[in-house]
Amino acid sequence: MNIGEAARRSGVSAKMIRWYEARGLLPPAERSEAGYRHYTEADVHALRFVRRARDLGFTVDGIADLLALWRDRSRRSAEVKALATGHIAELRRRIAELEGMVDTLSHLAESCHGDARPECPILADLAGAAPARARAEPARFGKAVAGKPAARRRAAAAAP
Amino acid sequence: MNIGEAARRSGVSAKMIRWYEARGLLPPAERSEAGYRHYTEADVHALRFVRRARDLGFTVDGIADLLALWRDRSRRSAEVKALATGHIAELRRRIAELEGMVDTLSHLAESCHGDARPECPILADLAGAAPARARAEPARFGKAVAGKPAARRRAAAAAP
DNA sequence: CATTGACCTTCCCACAATGGGAAGCCTTAT
DNA sequence: ATAAGGCTTCCCATTGTGGGAAGGTCAATG
């Protein structure tokens, strides 16, 4: 079958199939006289494998590793599991990061009146977490700080 | 102060400062005779604002909107709040997506022995999951563990 | 047949944001 | 005056994905 058909059956776009091939994730497909790539059922199967792994958030490199293990019939399931747990840890790290943002923002949003008034703790926090006061145009006050290296995320609500 | 100093004080790299300027996020900085950009304390303040918003996961467009509101003294806090809640929703969407992956993978990893044997439900799932956007619902087969269910060997055998 | 339309090929461009690095000025301190 | 270190711009790479152009192929029509 041609690439379009393989794409339809695997759920991986033709563009991505070519890209994966170029990336070495998949072996170069057989070509017809005219240069058309053609695929077998086994190829479609592999493509579905790739797609599923991709849906689970694996990176291309991770997928390449998984594919290698899949093809290796003498693999040790421990290796597969290690890849999976490592990926789970990475996903959890990202989740925690996003949750930190949500926590901070939710907190700030809660204390924002959300009405016609301009006072807003969200902006106050972004502007420096400095408690109420001076909020003129952004190009005209000089009371800035200057020492500390900046504190990575983690916010404290500040209500004006 | 020059860009390097502004970068140090704001926590935004000089590279990113130039990039934000090019993107229209920040107004073009004043230049010296020789073409060096010059910044004031107020500029550093704005840069910190950008950096904080970036740390909270806002996109450049979102930050541009926030900056506009920050500069607008007659803004309505409702607008700021709307931006924030919209972003929170987006963050939660991403979290849910990642959690779906974690759920599926954790489930699979739990049922993988992780020893010297090649049988592995993780690979089996990747090799046999249904196409299309269905994820986070492993259900396919919840037990095909160690006992090497003959029917499932198809997976490994299908590898090129 | 020859034309048409659906396919395929490659190559370039774009995105999010960020960093790396080169080539070439500018400034400042020795 | 010379070296060190900043600054400038420009290009490239990243991770995946899609858009699109220019051109070759194939199958089914009129």
**Residue at A38: amino acid letter:** H
Selected for mutation to probe chain B from A40, A55, A58 (highest B CB count within 10 Å) is A55
Give burial (CB, 10 Å; 0-12/13-18/19+) of B118: middle
Task: Identify protein residues whose C-beta is within 7 angstroms of any atom in strand D.
Answer: A 13, 15-16, 19, 32-34, 36, 54, 59-61; B 2-5, 7, 14, 18, 35-37
DSSP letter, residue B42: H
Q: Between chains, do B123 and A55 touch, taking CB under 8 Å as contact?
A: no
CA nearest to B109, candidates A99, A150, A92, A18? A92
Residue A141 pLDDT exceeds 60? no
Cβ–Cβ < 8 Å for A72, B93: no
Please state the pTM of the whole predicted model. 0.78
Mean pLDDT of B133-152: 32
Q: Phi and psi at residue B156, in whole multiples of 5°?
A: -65, -35
Cα–Cα distance measured from residue B111 to residue B121, given in angstroms and rounded to the nearest whole number: 7
- Residue A123 pLDDT: 94
DSSP secondary structure string, A119-151?
A: --HHHHHHTTS--S-----TTS------SS---
Q: Which chain B positions have a beta carbon within 8 Å of A81's beta carbon? A: 109, 112-114, 120, 122
Read off the pLDDT of residues B119-130 as tens digits, 9 standing for 90 and up.
999 999 999 854
**Residue A60, number of CB atoms within 10 A of its CB:** 15
Quote the CA–CA distance of B15 and B30 in Å, as a whole number: 17
Scanning the structure block, which residue is given the tokens 């979102």? B62
Residue range B63-70: mean pLDDT, rounded:
94
pLDDT of residue A129: 64
> Cβ separation of B73 and A136 shorter than 8 Å?
yes
pLDDT-based confidence at residue A128 (cuts at 50, 70, 90): confident
User: Which helix (H) or strand (E) covers residue B10, if one does?
Assistant: helix B3-10
The phi, psi pair for A31, rounded to 5°, reads -125, 150
- Angle among Cα B45, B48, B54 to the nearest 5 degrees reads 150
Interface test with B, best of A99, A120, A125, A140 (most B CBs within 10 A): A120
What CA–CA distance (Å, rounded) separates A146 from B115?
55
How far from chain centre, in Å, is Cα B146? 37
Contact between B49 and A126 using a beta-carbon 8 Å cutoff: yes
| Distances, alpha carbon A16 to alpha carbons A13, A37, B35, B129, in Å | 5, 14, 44, 19
Q: Identify the residue whose Cα has the smallest distance to the C1' of C8.
A: A36
User: Which nucleotide across the nucleic acid strands is nearest to B23, CA versus C1'?
Assistant: C17
Which residue do the tokens 């293990």 mark?
A69
pLDDT-derived band at B138 (thresholds 50, 70, 90) equals: very low
pLDDT tens profile A16-73: 999 999 999 999 999 999 999 999 999 999 999 999 999 999 999 999 999 999 999 9
Residue B6: DSSP 8-state:
H
Query: Judging by beta carbons within 10 Å of its beta carbon (0-12, 13-18, 19+), is residue A104 exposed, middle or buried?
Result: buried
Q: Where are the beta strands (DSSP E) in chain B?
A: 30-31, 37-38
If you ran DSSP here, which 8-state letter would residue B34 be given?
A: T
Q: Which residue has the higher pLDDT, A70 or A154?
A: A70
- When CB atoms are compared, the residue of B42, B76, B116 closest to A115 is B76
Interface A-B: count of C-beta contacts within 8 A: 224
B114 vs B118: CA distance, rounded Å? 9
